[in-house]
Amino acid sequence: MSQSRFDADALAPLLASFPGTDVPEWLAQALEAGLGGVCLFGYNTPNTREAQRLIAQVREASCTEPIVTIDEEGGDVTRLYAARGGAFPAARGFGDIDDPELSREYGEAIGRVLAAIGVRMNFAPVADVNTNPSNPVIGARSFGTSPGPVARHARAVCEGLSHAGVLSCAKHFPGHGDTAVDSHLGVPTVALSLEDALAQHVAAFRELGSAPDALMTGHMCVPSLGDGPATIAPWSYALAAQINPDALLVTDALDMGAITESVGYAEATVRALEAGAHLLCLGTSIRRDGENMLVEAHDAIAEAIRSGRLDRGELRSRAERVRTTFAGRASASACTAEALESAEAHLEAVGERASRRAVRWALESSPVAGHVSTAAIVDARFAHDYAAGKGRTFLAPVLEHRDIRLLPADPPPGYESPQVTFVLTRLGSASDAETARLDQAAANAHELGSRLIVLHTGVPETAPLPHTLSSPAAVLLTYGASRGVMNAAADLALREVAR
C-alpha cells in the first residue's frame, strides 16, 4: 500500500485497528500519511509493558502526535488486563457503593496506567442508564438505573481520568440502557416517547455537562428523537453538541452488526462525518482485515470529498479542533517503566479496596460452616458478552491459589464429590437458558451433597433467588467476573463457609 494513495483529510478522522503487538508496515505508512490514530484491543495488549512498547512504535511511525485510544472501562470490559483479569468491579458495583470519591479514585487509577503507556483517550465511562434489567450488552457496565446516580459516578470517573492526564469519552449517546438487542449483532430500538427518552436516558448525559471530553454515539434507533441509528444521524450529533458544546463526538465501532447489517460499513463512515462526527472508531480487526477496513473507510471518505458530498474545509476544521483538544495529553516523557510500575501498584490497591466493598451477599443467603478443600465451578452464563470479549472467569486460579482442588461438578460414579459448587450467572432470572443451567447445577449439587454458592455477575435485579433453587444456596452479587471481584467473592464465601 503506497503512502501516496492516501488523502490526508480522509485519514485524519479515522481510528484504525490492527492485529498483533507490532505496527505493521501498512499502518506505519498510513500514520506517516496523516492517519488520526488507533484504537487498541486486547490482542494488542497482552500486558502493559508490551502496550507501552507498541504505543511508542505508533508514535515513532506517525507524522504528528497520534491519537491512541482504548476501551478500559474496568470490570469485565478491559483491554489491558484481558489476559490476567482486571482489578475492578463493573460500574454498577461503584454505583451501589455510592461513594463518588471512590469512583474518582477508580478513574484516576485507570488513567495513571493509561498515561504511563501512552494512551490519550479512554472510551469510558459508560453513562447509559440501565433501565432494562434484561439488557444483553449494558447491564452491570452501567452505574445504575436512574440518571442521577449514573451522572454522579460517571462525572467522578471523568474527573479522575482528567487528573491523570487522559481524556474521557462518555458513552453511548443518547443512551443504550433500554435496549433488548446487542448492537454488536443488530440494530436495537429504544421505543420510548420523546419525554421518556429525554428524562430517563439523555438526562444522564445532560447532567454530566462538560465533564467528559468526548461523547461516543451509539448504534441504537430512537424513533422519538429522529430517524436512523444515532451514530450516523444528524439529530444525534446536534443534540450532543447542544448538551456538551465542547465535547468531541466519536462513533462507536463501525464494524458492529447494527451498522454493517443496515447501511453498511463504508457508507456509514461517510454518513457519520456528514452527521457531525469528529472521529470514527473503525472497530476490531478480529473479524475483518485491519488494512482492508482502513482502505475501505479511507476510499469512501476520499470519494465523498472529491464528489462534494463532504466539505474538505469542514473536515480540516474538525481535525484542528481534535488536535487542540488533545494537545498536552499523555506526553511520551511520562511513559517510563517507573511510572508504569507505580501506576499499576496503585491500581491494584484501589481495585482490591473497591472489589471488597462491592461484593456482597444477596438477601436470603445463609452460608454454612465447614472447612473447604474441594470445589467445582459451573459457568452458567449463556449469552456472549461482545463488549467484554469471550466470557471468562478468573475464579479457578483464585481458588487454586487458596489450595482448593477443583473437581467436576457432575462427577462419574465413585469419583470424589466437591464440597462446594460455585455457579456463575450473568443474565440470571432474565435468561431461560441460564436459569435451566443453574437448575441443573443445583440438582447435581443437591444429589452430591455439595454446598451451592451462586456468583451473580450481572445486575442485582436479575440475581437468582435462593429459595427458588432445588439445593440450598447462597447468592453473592459480584458485579462482574474480574480477577478483583473473584478474589473478593472467594474471600467472603470461604471465610463465611469456614466459620
Are 124 and 245 within one domain?
yes
pLDDT at 288: 79
CATH (domain of 16): 3.20.20.300
Are 252 and 377 within one domain?
no
Distance CA 197, CA 235 (A): 14
Q: Give a yes or no: residue 150 inside a domain.
A: yes
Q: Where among 346, 375, 410 does a domain terminate?
A: 346
pLDDT at 469: 77
Q: What percent of the chain has pLDDT over 70?
A: 93
Specify the residue for cell string 502526535. Answer: 65
Are 322 and 382 within one domain?
no
What is the number of structural domains in the chain? 2
Please state whether 104 falls in left (phi above 0), alpha (psi between -120 and 50) or beta: alpha
pLDDT at 262: 79
Q: Give a yes or no: residue 33 inside a domain.
A: yes
Are 46 and 139 within one domain?
yes
Q: What percent of the chain has pLDDT over 90?
A: 82
Are 319 and 364 within one domain?
no
Distance CA 32, CA 198 (A): 43
Nearest to 456, CA basis, from 478, 437, 440, 483: 478
Specify the residue for cell string 429459595. Answer: 467
Whether residue 334 has pLDDT greater than 70: yes
pLDDT in tens, 219-264: 999 999 999 899 999 999 999 999 999 999 999 999 987 787 778 8
pLDDT in tens, 24-73: 999 999 999 999 999 999 999 999 999 999 999 999 999 999 999 999 99
Whether residue 353 has pLDDT greater than 90: yes
Q: Give a yes or no: residue 131 inside a domain.
A: yes
User: Listing from the earlier edge strand, what are the strands of the sheet with 420-425?
Assistant: 360-361, 473-477, 451-456, 420-425, 374-379, 405-406
Q: Where among 301, 316, 346 does a domain terminate?
A: 346
Please give the mean pLDDT across all residues of the chain: 92
Burial 321-335 (b: 16+ CB within 10 A, else e): ebeebbeebbeeebb
Are 289 and 341 within one domain?
yes
Are 155 and 27 within one domain?
yes
pLDDT at 175: 96
Mean pLDDT, rounded, for 204-222:
96
CATH (domain of 455): 3.40.50
40 strand-pairing partners: 70
Q: How confident is the model at residue 460 (pLDDT cuts 50, 70, 90)?
A: very high
Whether residue 131 has pLDDT greater than 80: yes
Are 133 and 250 within one domain?
yes
pLDDT at 22: 97
Are 183 and 321 within one domain?
yes
Are 27 and 173 within one domain?
yes
pLDDT at 368: 56
Q: Where among 346, 372, 402 does a domain terminate?
A: 346
Q: Give a yes or no: residue 188 inside a domain.
A: yes
pLDDT in tens, 287-329: 678 999 999 999 999 999 999 999 999 999 999 999 999 996 7
Mean pLDDT, rounded, for 267-284:
96
Q: Helical H runs in 287-392?
A: 290-307, 312-326, 337-358
Which letter does DSSP use for residue 199 in this model?
A: I
pLDDT at 310: 98
173, 237 contact by CB (below 8 A)? no
Q: How confident is the model at residue 499 (pLDDT cuts 50, 70, 90)?
A: very low
pLDDT in tens, 363-381: 766 665 578 999 999 999 9
Whether residue 389 has pLDDT greater than 60: no
Whether residue 165 has pLDDT greater than 70: yes
pLDDT at 102: 98
Mean pLDDT, rounded, for 468-490:
91
Are 341 and 375 within one domain?
no
pLDDT at 383: 65
Mean pLDDT, rounded, for 436-444:
94
Mean pLDDT, rounded, for 108-132:
97
Question: Which has the higher per-residue pLDDT, 463 or 1?
Answer: 463
Q: Give a yes or no: residue 2 inside a domain.
A: no
Question: Which has the higher per-residue pLDDT, 333 or 153?
Answer: 153
Mean pLDDT, rounded, for 203-227:
96
Q: Give a yes or no: residue 499 inside a domain.
A: no
pLDDT at 465: 85
Which letter does DSSP use for residue 143 in this model?
A: S
Residue 341 structural domain: 8-346
Nearest to 114, CA basis, from 331, 350, 349, 387: 331
Are 328 and 399 within one domain?
no
